[in-house]
Amino acid sequence: MNFPKELRYTKSHEWARREGEKVVCGITEYAQKEISDVVFVEVPKRGQAAEQAKAVAVVESVKAAFDIYAPMSGKVSQVNADLESRPELVNQDCYGQGWFFEIEASDPSEWDKLMTAEEYEKNIQNESVK
Amino acid sequence: MSQICRLPLHDTHVRLGARIGAFGSWEVPLYYTSIVQEHEAVRQRAGLFDISHMGEFRVTGNDALGFLQELLPRDVGKMETGQALYMPLLNEDGGIIDDVILYRFEPAHFLLIVNAGNVDKDWSWVESRAAAHKGAAPDFKIQNASADFGLLALQGPGSAAIIEKTLGSTWTDVAYYHFRPFGDGMIARTGYTGEDGFEIMVKKAGLLEMWDRLMAAGRADGLVPAGFGARDTLRLEAGMLLYGHDMEDTTNPLEAGISWAVDLKKASFIGRDALAKQAGKPQAKKLAAFEMIERAIPRQGYELRKGSQTLGHVTSGTFSPTLAKNIGMGYVPPSEAVAGNEIQVVVRQKSIQAKIVKLPFYKRKK
């Protein structure tokens, strides 16, 4: 599976990409494969406050709904409106066109609390052994 | 019941890459590639399901007909040999113990196929009723054959061609809701998807061979293994009920909308008097189908509302791959169960607009 090195990751399987003061977020390849067919995404509202590790979006497969947690705190500055009509982008291109939202980070030090690609990969290996 | 059961072809499903999950006390393949892909394969080509979790009871002997006439709410005496009939199994109050299909092999030889989650409950019920009946005829016998047989469902518009390729052309003229004996089991023109298809009951020892033969014959026509995820979305689109979700012991067939599968003109059967009394009266609730107007997927347990009034709860809900809509069913007061009526589904504390529609959501073109 692909976990790009330049991204940071959460235990709950979100990824974050730093672009200046802003952080673009989505779900990992592991997460989209586990969820399988993504048929519905509810993105947050622009301007909404986000708190690290708190639910801000929802992704649904045919069978179930899953909360998506904010990798960092701040204000939601952009959302991916394409996911409303094309939720399958999450499966097809989870690090690209399948991004969920962008956060204007209020506490840049939170970045360091996120996992690196290596740490994340180890974490999911442990998870799948359980 | 707490014991986890595995399908006889469990290892085959794992080898095919299935995501295994729980269905009641059974470990079953949820999907092999994806629910949506398998769903579409069944609507457009064909899918093969392993539904060996289902239970099979045999009822034989001279008293079989008389026994079943009392046990079941349809006129079993009218069934021809080789015919299958869907109906609920009722308790004394007219509540639905299970929904079943009865097959008439011979004038005095019947088979009842029941839901996996209800095998123990149904068997206790049938046994207790048989105990009261047994005195009459010495050759009367009921047998729980659930552990002996496997069941495969070949479903989709390509099914007949695949059956023909696998077993010969004689099987394609089996009519809808009819069957023919096949070895110790049978092959029926039935299913739970809303498509043409066959259900193939064979002894467990022959199950893998049958699975492999069907897959080999159908692969070129796009036959794929299909899991329980697609089975659920397919049956819901087709407006078919799932026991334990859309009906239970306290639901009666009038409320569940399956009174067509109950013959109140029949002089006597278990639950008849209770139902006859209720038939003339307004029901407390009625199963209604709805589709979402606003964006959200209804899920089992979500509240159905109209303004501030609670109407009931969702019993089944999903994204419909064929219709690309979000659909569901649930019990509401009969006055609200009118096509076109706008209601709300409470999704994550928000009231989301939906409207009542007629069942089925999807009907195949013949």
Give the ipTM of the model, two decimals please: 0.92
Question: Measured between CB atoms, does B20 come within 8 Å of chain A?
Answer: no
Question: Measured between CB atoms, does A61 come within 8 Å of chain B?
Answer: yes
The residue extents of the domains of chain B are 5-51+147-237, 55-144, 282-366
User: Do B5-51+147-237 and B282-366 fold alike per CATH?
Assistant: no
For the domain with range B282-366, which CATH number is right: 2.40.30.110, 1.10.10.10, 1.10.260.40, 3.40.50.720?
2.40.30.110
Q: How confident is the model at residue B2 (pLDDT cuts 50, 70, 90)?
A: low
Question: Measured between CB atoms, does B233 come within 8 Å of chain A?
Answer: yes
Distance from CA of B318 to the nearest CA of A (A): 6
The predicted model gives A21-40 an average pLDDT of 97
Question: Which residue in A37, A40, A65 is closest to B35 by CB distance?
Answer: A37
The predicted model gives B148-177 an average pLDDT of 97
* CA B111 to mean position of chain CA atoms: 16
pLDDT at position B280, please? 86
User: From the CB of residue B348, how many other CB atoms can be counted at a distance below 10 Å?
Assistant: 12
> What is the per-residue pLDDT across B102-113, written as a single tens digit (0 to 9) for each?
999 999 999 999
Least confident residue range of A5-19, B16-30, B124-138: B124-138
| Residue B327: closest C-alpha in chain A | A62
Query: Could you give the C-alpha distances from A70 to A24, A49, A121, B323, B345, in angstroms and in order?
Result: 10, 10, 19, 33, 27
pLDDT at position B138, please? 84
Q: How confident is the model at residue B136 (pLDDT cuts 50, 70, 90)?
A: low
Statement: residue B135 has pLDDT above 90: no
Mean pLDDT of chain B: 96
For the domain with range B5-51+147-237, which CATH number is right: 3.40.50.2000, 3.40.640.10, 3.40.50.1980, 3.30.1360.120?
3.30.1360.120
Question: Which residue in B295, B299, B321 is closest to A84 by CB distance?
Answer: B295
> What is the per-residue pLDDT across B276-318, written as a single tens digit (0 to 9) for each?
999 989 999 999 999 999 999 999 999 999 999 999 999 999 9
DSSP at B15: H
Distance from CA of A37 to the nearest CA of B (A): 6
> What is the per-residue pLDDT across B204-214, written as a single tens digit (0 to 9) for each?
999 999 999 99
Statement: residue B1 has pLDDT above 80: no
Statement: residue A130 has pLDDT above 60: no
The predicted model gives A92-120 an average pLDDT of 97
pLDDT at position A25, please? 98
Percent of chain B whose pLDDT exceeds 70 = 99
Percent of chain B whose pLDDT exceeds 90 = 96
In chain B, residues with a C-beta closer than 8 Å to the C-beta of A61 are 35
Domains of chain A: 8-110 (2.40.50.100)
User: From the CB of residue B280, how many other CB atoms can be counted at a distance below 10 Å?
Assistant: 6
For the domain with range B55-144, which CATH number is right: 3.40.50.300, 3.60.10.10, 3.20.20.140, 3.30.70.1400?
3.30.70.1400
Distance from CA of B293 to the nearest CA of A (A): 14
Question: Measured between CB atoms, does B18 come within 8 Å of chain A?
Answer: no
Mean pLDDT of chain A: 96
pLDDT at position B366, please? 74
Distance from CA of B153 to the nearest CA of A (A): 21
Residue B88 near residue B144 (C-beta atoms within 8 A) = no
The predicted model gives B208-237 an average pLDDT of 98
> What is the rounded distance in angstroms from the CA atom of residue A18 to the CA atom of residue B104?
68
pLDDT at position A43, please? 97
Q: A65 and B35: CB-CB below 8 Å?
A: no
Q: How confident is the model at residue A27 (pLDDT cuts 50, 70, 90)?
A: very high
Question: 3-class SS at B171?
Answer: helix
Q: B297 and A39: CB-CB below 8 Å?
A: yes
> What is the per-residue pLDDT across B19-52, written as a single tens digit (0 to 9) for each?
999 999 999 999 999 999 999 999 999 999 999 9
- Identify any residues that bridge with A74 across adjacent strands, giving them in sequence order: A50, A105
pLDDT at position B137, please? 77
pLDDT at position A129, please? 60
Pinpoint the alpha helices (H) of B78-195.
119-133, 159-167
Statement: residue B133 has pLDDT above 90: no
